[in-house]
Amino acid sequence: MGMTMTQKILAAHAGLDEVKVGQLIQAELDLVLGNDVTTPVAITEFKKMDIDEVFDKSKVAIVPDHFTPNKDIKAAEQCQCIRNFAHQMDVENYFEIGQMGIEHCLLPEKGLVVPGNVVIGADSHTCTYGALGLFSTGIGSTDMAAGMATGQCWFKVPSAIKFELTGKPTKWVSGKDVILHIIGMIGVDGALYKSMEFVGDGLKHLPIDDRFTMANMAIEAGAKNGIFLVDDQTLAYVNEHSTKPYTVYEPDEDAEYEQVFKIDLSTIRPTVAFPHLPDNTRTIDEVGDVAIDQVVIGSCTNGRMSDLRIAADLLKGKKIAKGIRTIVFPGTQKIYLQAIEEGLMKIFIEAGAVVSTPTCGPCLGGHMGVLAKGERAVATTNRNFVGRMGHVESEVYLASPAVAAASALVGKIVGPEDLDKE
């Protein structure tokens, strides 16, 4: 029996000719990632190993992005801890305020992840990088510590689900709508510890930014990782951003999949995930009358240039509805600067939005957008669990940048197509 893309990558990094589902392997790592929340715990465990240096100072990345700029003394101490460690260990890929971004937007932009890699990160959305045809997955802080020390990690080889994508999405449908549609279809545990592999002719209609969004939310279906077939779009992105060598892996024709789903992208409608799970989805036609208090556009899911352009296109020359707080936060400093140069920030501010430096703050209810009791937010983020963005009696509705921007203008959840009706 043949192997999937993920299985081939894991086999290569374990020094094996083949691997089978459920097999325990020890794989070599191409990158180990941590942030300001998870790395301090990893550093504590690392020090217990009585090791003087990381396995490879060029293969560790530390990004302070969750509570930065520091929101309080505790956050400042966490960042001080990781800053001191990075300097002590001479970590090459430590990104200070001013150079950093939201980790899962920043690492691909910096060319640190390329096809065929094995990447672990002490953050569940590390699966984002699978958009470039590599195996990346979230791990705990203890595994991060071991990875920094040894350059290796244990894995149980996952089974896989294949998603054959065909057709072309309609104008306002993006990768966010596609992945919400899929999660709504299979459930938040529908791909539990499995690899979600995306293939098919429809890929040519999904830009890399859309693929990042979809791979990012593979974990919201319980997946071990999400991975896309490498094509010309992938290679164009990689060659623009990286000089690292890479290897392209394709699934064998006789690769074994637990399930195969065929999805016609042209049939998908703008989709919203209602509280309090990402699989509680409804199309924009089924939403009903849902008034909102806040809109958040950004995050590691939808904070890239294409996302900001879509939002700006809808907000240009208009005013956000009275009483609606709208926060826009780009994924990286580079994206921030490009948005300024393209005039997008002027559009956002004139429309009545506030623009933030790159941060994870609003997404996890950490700072800069925390919800009070009873408040509702439409967010382009990835989770809408109870209390995710603030009070346990607040509500988060997950949507695309197009739906988020349109909703900001009206004050309730609507799609871009509905703006002419208001």
At 81-92, the pLDDT tens digits run 999 999 999 999
**Of the residues 213, 240, 264, the one at which a domain ends:** 264
Q: End-to-end distance of the chain based on CA atoms, in angstroms?
A: 56
Within a domain: 228: yes
Provide the 10 A C-beta neighbour count for residue 374. 10
Predicted confidence (pLDDT) at residue 300 exceeds the cutoff of 80: yes
Read off the pLDDT of residues 304-357 as tens digits, 9 standing for 90 and up.
999 999 999 999 999 999 999 999 999 999 999 999 999 999 999 999 999 999
Same domain (yes/no): 229, 342: no
Nearest Cα neighbor of 242 from 116, 90, 136 is 116
- What's the CA gap between 334 and 132, in Å, rounded? 20
| CATH number of residue 396's parent domain | 3.30.499.10
Same domain (yes/no): 204, 316: no
The confidence score (pLDDT) of residue 68 equals 85
Within a domain: 145: yes
Read off the pLDDT of residues 27-41 as tens digits, 9 standing for 90 and up.
999 999 999 999 999
pLDDT confidence of 422, banded at 50, 70, 90? low
pLDDT confidence of 137, banded at 50, 70, 90? very high
- What's the CA gap between 381 and 6, in Å, rounded? 26
- What's the CA gap between 182 and 176, in Å, rounded? 10
Within a domain: 422: no
**Of the residues 234, 264, 294, the one at which a domain ends:** 264
- What's the CA gap between 28 and 5, in Å, rounded? 17
**Of the residues 264, 290, 306, the one at which a domain ends:** 264
Read off the pLDDT of residues 140-177 as tens digits, 9 standing for 90 and up.
999 999 999 999 999 999 999 999 999 999 999 999 99
Same domain (yes/no): 86, 125: yes
Residue 326's domain comprises 272-416
Residue pair 372/339 in contact by the 8 Å Cβ criterion:
no
Read off the pLDDT of residues 246-260 as tens digits, 9 standing for 90 and up.
999 999 999 999 999
- Average pLDDT across the chain, whole number: 95
Number of domains in the chain: 2
Provide the 10 A C-beta neighbour count for residue 74. 10
Same domain (yes/no): 322, 359: yes
What contacts 98, CB < 8 A, 6 or more positions away?
A: 333
Within a domain: 353: yes
What contacts 273, CB < 8 A, 6 or more positions away?
A: 180, 183, 184, 279, 280, 281, 384, 397, 398, 399
What pTM value is reported for the model? 0.94
Same domain (yes/no): 277, 397: yes
Q: Exposed/middle/buried for 1, CB within 10 Å: 0-12, 13-18, 19+? A: exposed
